[in-house]
Amino acid sequence: MCPDDRSEEIRRVPWEHPDWYDLHDTTWTAGPEREPEHYRELVLALPPLDAGDHLVDVGAGTGKLAALIARAYPRLGRVTLIEPNADKLERAQARLGELLPGARVEALAAGLGDRSRLPRGAATLLTIGSVLMPIMELRGGTLVDGLEWLRTALDEVGSALSPRGVLFAAETLAPPWARGGGADPVRRLAMAELTAELERAGFADVECAYRFRDRVVLSARWAP
Ligand SMILES: C[S@@+](CC[C@H](N)C(=O)[O-])C[C@H]1O[C@@H](n2cnc3c(N)ncnc32)[C@H](O)[C@@H]1O
């Protein structure tokens, strides 16, 4: 192999380079210890929230992200928690009810991409905390299957936003060595791919508010 071919090969498969391999082996993902910083940066990137705001948290789990937002903005007027797991949803609703005694806190047992009836045009802030990439991957199938789910999910997310509403998503992206086209097994997306999917769905002003290795916070406006 001549030197030019070798450098092209290394760009394509960087882990074949012994120095790159020693630097990156097991260190590419940010790891769970970075999660508090990741979520905190999402909260810091938010616009000011008040009594007239309606937070819709999709894939709310037990309400961890919504609770951080509620602690930061205790005058928040309305919260809708959307989560397919009924036990988690119940805990999330109880948690948010305690944190925001004066707010209207509602819960909806539903999942993105399941053709459930999500609220339409209602959210001034819609948050998604670690849902799109992990659930797309967990559902299995091919990348085409995953993208089909993601596109339906993003359409539902956009439709849930009010005209002045904004989306904030905390996600974990694919590692740089992730490969595979439509017929290959589903995988997480790279930053450029996820940004392109958001724009394809009708989001505008897609911004990266935070990135550490695979952890990102993206914000966008719904402008179909
Ligand atoms: C990694 S957890 C994140 C939970 C929470 N947002 C947080 O940050 O702690 C992913 C959540 O997505 C939920 N989930 C599973 N399928 C979903 C779907 N189709 N749409 C929305 N959420 C889903 C899971 O039940 C789980 O609670």
Ligand 1, closest atom to CA 39? 8
Rounded mean pLDDT, 49-75: 98
Determine the distance separating the centroid of ligand 1 and the alpha carbon of 112, expressed in angstroms: 9
The single-letter code of the amino acid at 196 is A
Query: In this structure, are residues 197 and 178 in contact, taking their beta carbons and an 8 Å threshold?
Result: no
Six token digits for residue 159: 């439709």
Any atom of ligand 1 within 6 Å of the Cβ of 132? no
Instruction: Give the largest Cα separation in the chain, rounded.
Output: 70
The single-letter code of the amino acid at 170 is A
DSSP secondary structure code for residue 202 in this structure: T
Determine the distance separating the centroid of ligand 1 and the alpha carbon of 7, expressed in angstroms: 41
Helices (H), the chain: 3-12, 18-24, 35-45, 64-72, 86-99, 132-138, 143-160, 191-201
Any atom of ligand 1 within 6 Å of the Cβ of 125? no
User: What is the three-class DSSP state of 183?
Assistant: coil
Please give the model's pTM, rounded to 2 decimal places.
Answer: 0.94
**Phi and psi at residue 49, in whole multiples of 5°?**
-120, 145
**130-167 tens-digit pLDDT:** 999 999 999 999 999 999 999 999 999 999 999 999 99
Give me the pLDDT at residue 3, please: 61
- Answer with the residue of higher pLDDT: 118 or 218: 218
Any atom of ligand 1 within 6 Å of the Cβ of 91? no
Measured by CA distance, the residue closest to atom 22 of ligand 1 is 59
Q: Which of 54-63, 69-78, 87-96, 170-179 has the lowest mean pLDDT?
A: 170-179
Determine the distance separating the centroid of ligand 1 and the alpha carbon of 131, expressed in angstroms: 5
- Does position 64 have pLDDT exceeding 60, yes or no? yes
